[in-house]
Each structure stands twice: as C-alpha cells, then as structure tokens.
C-alpha cells in the first residue's frame, strides 16, 4: 500500500468512526505503529484529523462539510473515472463553467489539455490551468475564496456568472436526491451554483456515489435541472432510478 493510499484509508477510518487508535490503524493498513504515528502527524498538519494521545479523532461536527484536504483523498479512482466521462461529454470549442470541489478539480486536469474555454470557480483549478498553459482558454472570475476550500463566492462571483453564458456547466454537489434535489453545505456556495446553472445551456453533475441519497442543508435546486449525472457504481440504485425517472440521464462509470 502506497503512502497516499494508506493516508486515504486512515482518513476515512477516522472520519467514519469518529476516531481510531494507532493499534487499530496499524491492523487496518498492515503498517507498523511507528509508520502510523508519522502518518497521523502528517495528516494532522494538513488539517485532515486531530492528533490525540494513542491515536486520532475526527475534526468534523455532525453535518459539517469534510475539509478539502480530506475529500481529496477519498474515492480518488472513482473521481478520475467520473472526470474522464465528463470530459468526453464536452466537445472541442465549448465554453465550460467548472464548479469547485475535488471531482471538478479532476475534470480540470483533463480540460486543460483541450481546446475549450473554461471558467473555474476554485483557486485550485485556476492555479492548475495557469501553471501548465495548454490549448484551453482560461477565464478567471471575480469572487472571494472560502477559507481552506478555495471556492469563489460572493457578489463578484455572481456578477461574473451573470455576465456570461456557457455551453456546459459542470457542477459538483454535497448532496443529491430525487426528492430534495441538489444541495450544498454552504449558502454562498449554493448561490453560486444556482447562478452557474442559470447561465448554462446544459448542466452536467459530477458526483461520486457517496453524494447520492445524501442531503446537505443549503438548497440549490431540483434534480430536474440536471441534464446529465456522472457517478460511479457505488451510487444507490434506487436513487439512480428515481433520478432517471425524473428525466436526468445517469452515466455510471
């Protein structure tokens, strides 16, 4: 198991159970307790978890959004497959609004190699496009970045979206159900998503299976706003069926 894979397993175990001991994590990963202690120190420095005597515990409150550093380690393979499918849905020459979040960041890695015009809504994606110039045309919006997330929100972000029209909006989500629609953890983030959807001809949601069947508290809009959902095989079958019955095309990778 690589360091990155082990860190992902540790982060998920601590998040799911609320905490774990060094011994439990060593048994889970097959690594030595000394290695686990170093891993926990590194993850604590990154803000993924809290180091406590003999182990670690989660930093998350109930219903709170997991930090970007933690989400970036989860379901990485699934997010890359989703990103590849989303990229395949976008034609050369399109104008694309790219939402914030870890799955959309994987989409950015692919779109920077394409002759498309992209306006990303996160500092991470903007830096990615700017650091490795390619055939993609980068449009930088205004906005104020959310702490630790890098997601651009506020009046300037909303004004940027109102001034433009996009062929496709690639939207991430914190929760998605047929009944409750698309939801986010942050009200400002939900407002930006709403504006992005309103400014786009087509809306493609990119969400791994853990987001389906889950509802966060900030409402974005009904599921019928989504033309296409790209998810992975862990998505709950009943939610997939309900979304398809509502008219959303679901692509499972």
Six-digit token string for 14: 């601590």
**How many angstroms separate the CA atoms of 121 and 104, rounded?**
10
**What Å distances lie between residue 35 and 15, 22, 31, 98, 100, CA to CA?**
19, 9, 6, 38, 33
pLDDT at 76: 82
pLDDT at 65: 60
Q: What is the pLDDT of residues 45-59, one digit of tens each?
A: 887 888 999 999 887
How far, rounded to the nearest angstrom, does the alpha carbon of residue 181 sit from its chain's CA centroid? 17
pLDDT at 26: 95
Taking Cα atoms as reference points, which of 116, 136, 48 lies closest to residue 128? 136
- Ordered alpha helix ranges (H), 18-53: 22-29, 33-45
pLDDT at 94: 98
pTM above 0.85, yes or no: no
Model confidence band, residue 62 (pLDDT cutoffs 50, 70, 90): very low
**Residue 89 backbone phi and psi in degrees, to 5:** -80, -15
Q: What is the pLDDT of residues 197-221, one digit of tens each?
A: 999 999 999 999 989 998 888 999 9
Average pLDDT (186-205) is 97
pLDDT above 80 (res 72): no
Question: What is the 8-class DSSP label of residue 219?
Answer: E
Helix, strand and coil percent figures for the chain, each rounded to 5 = 45, 25, 35
C-alpha atoms less than 13 angstroms from C-alpha of 64 in its C-beta half-sphere: 11
């Amino acid at each position: 198991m690589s360091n990155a894979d082990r860190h992902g397993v540790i982060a998920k175990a601590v998040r799911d159970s609320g905490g774990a001991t060094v011994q439990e994590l060593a048994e889970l990963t097959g690594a030595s307790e000394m290695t686990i202690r170093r891993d926990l120190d590194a993850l604590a420095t990154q803000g993924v978890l809290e180091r406590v005597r003999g182990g670690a515990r989660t930093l998350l409150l109930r219903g709170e959004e997991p930090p970007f550093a933690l989400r970036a380690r989860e379901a990485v393979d699934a997010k890359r497959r989703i990103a590849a499918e989303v990229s395949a849905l976008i034609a050369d020459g399109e104008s694309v609004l790219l939402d914030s979040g870890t799955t959309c960041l994987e989409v950015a890695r692919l779109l920077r190699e394409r002759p498309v015009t992209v306006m990303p809504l996160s500092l991470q994606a903007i830096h990615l496009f700017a650091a490795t110039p390619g055939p993609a045309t980068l449009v930088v919006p205004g906005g104020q970045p959310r702490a630790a997330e890098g997601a651009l929100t506020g009046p300037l972000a909303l004004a940027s979206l109102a001034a433009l029209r996009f062929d496709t909006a690639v939207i991430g989500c914190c929760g998605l159900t047929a009944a409750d629609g698309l939801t986010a953890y942050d009200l400002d983030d939900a407002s930006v998503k709403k504006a992005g959807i309103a400014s786009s001809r087509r809306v493609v949601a990119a969400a791994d299976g853990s987001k389906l069947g889950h509802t966060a508290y900030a409402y974005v809009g009904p599921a019928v706003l989504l033309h296409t959902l790209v998810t992975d095989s862990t998505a709950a079958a009943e939610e997939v069926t309900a979304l398809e019955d509502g008219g959303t095309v679901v692509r499972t990778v």
